[in-house]
Amino acid sequence: MYSEIEICVYSISLAVCLICGSLLWMHRKEVPDRSRTFQSLIALMSAACLIVIIAGIFLGHRFFRSWSLLNPMMSIGGLPIITLFLCYPLEVMRPRQLRGRMLFLLWLPSIIVTLPLFLGVEFQELYTWSDLREHLLEWDVLFRLLSTVFLGIYSMLLLFVSYNWRRSSADYHWIRRYTLFSQIITVLFFGHVFTDLPIFMPLHILWGTFVLFYFYYYERHIRILPSPRSECRQPESEHVSIVANMPEVDEETYDFWPMICQVMDEWEAWRNPNTTVETVSTAVGTNRIYVARCIREHTGMTFNDYMNEKRINYMAAQLRLNPAQDHKHLYFDVGFRSRHTAYRNFVKFVGSSPTDFIASLS
C-alpha cells in the first residue's frame, strides 16, 4: 500500500505541476519562441500522470507494479517523457528551430519504442534479476533495455547540441545545469525501473517537481529574452588564436595586454556569455594564470569584473544615446543571461539601478 509520505509527495507535486503549467500556458505568448509552451506541456502532462496515480490510491489499485523489473509502461514510457522534457531547453538554445524535420528526428526514437505498446504486444514478465538474465536475449527484453539506453543518451543530449549564442538566451552554465538535473531524473528513474524499490518513485517525482518549479521561476524571473536586434545578426565563427604564428616568448615577462585588448575590444568577446578566462587565454596563446595576472596589473580588476565593466559601460553608453529603449534588451546584447547578474553589475559599476539611471538622463 502507499504510505502517507508518498501520498503527501504526490499531492504536493500535483499542485505544483498544475500551478506552474497553467501559469506558463497563460503567459506563453510573452516570449518570441515556444519554450513556455513546451514547458507548460511537460508540467501539465506530469500533473495528468499524478492524477492517475492519486486516483489509483483511492480506488485501491497500485499502478505500475505488475512486474518488479522493466515494467513496459515505465521503461518504454520514460523515453517520450524525457523527449518532451528536452523540448523546452532545445527551444531556448535554438529559438524557433525545433519544428519540421528536427522535431520529427527528436521524436522518432520515442515513436518507434512505443509502437509495441499501442499494438498490444505481449511482454515477458520479469520479477527478479535471475529472470532478467534468463530472458536477456529475448527481443522484448532487449527492446525495453534499448529504450532505457536511449533515455540515458537523451539526458546528456544538450551537451552536444550546437547553438548560436547571439540568439539564444542560454549559456553553458545553464545548459550544464539543465543536463545535470536531467541526469538525476534519469538515475532515479533507472532505480525505479531496475529495482522497483518504494523509495525511488517518490524521489523521482519529488525531484522532477523541483526541476519544473526551478525552471518555471527561471523562465518568469531570471531569463533574459533575446532582443529583436539579435534576430538579425548572423552567427560569427569562433575566433582562432591570434598568436598561432608567433614565436615562443617568455610568459613570465611578456606583456599579453595588447592581445587581450584585441580579443576584448576588436572581437568584442565580452558579448559572448560563454567567454571565460580560459577562452581568452586560448585566444592569446597562454594560460589562464597569465591572463588573469595581466588584467589585474593593467586594470586592478579580476577578469570577471573587467569583462562585466565593459558590458555595463557599453550598456550605459547606449542608454545615454537613447534612454527610451528597453534596457532589458541591452542586458541580452552585452552578454548577460540572468536578470539578477545584470542588475547587480549595473548597480556595482554605475552606482544606481538602470531605472534610476534612465530617470537621471531624462
| Sequential DSSP letters for 65-116 | -SSSS--HHHHHHHHHHHHHHHHHHHHHHSTT-SSHHHHHHHHHHHHHHHHH
Question: What is the mean pLDDT of the segment spanning 172-194?
Answer: 94
Same domain assignment for residues 123 and 76: yes
State the amino acid at position 95 in one-letter form: P
In a domain, 193, yes or no: yes
CA distances, 40 to each of 31, 46, 314 (Å): 13, 10, 36
CATH number at 61 reads 1.20.1070
How many helices and strands, by DSSP H and E, does the chain display? 16, 0
Same domain assignment for residues 206 and 135: yes
Same domain assignment for residues 199 and 283: no
Encode pLDDT of 10-47 as tens digits. 999 999 999 999 999 999 999 989 999 999 999 999 99
- Tally of domains in the chain: 2
According to the model, what pLDDT value does residue 235 have? Answer: 42
pTM of the model: 0.88
Same domain assignment for residues 61 and 198: yes
Half-sphere exposure of 44 (CA within 13 A, CB side): 12
**Which residues form the domain of 291?**
249-361
pLDDT-derived band of residue 199, with 50, 70 and 90 as boundaries?
Answer: confident
Query: Over pLDDT 70: what percentage of the chain?
Result: 90
In a domain, 61, yes or no: yes
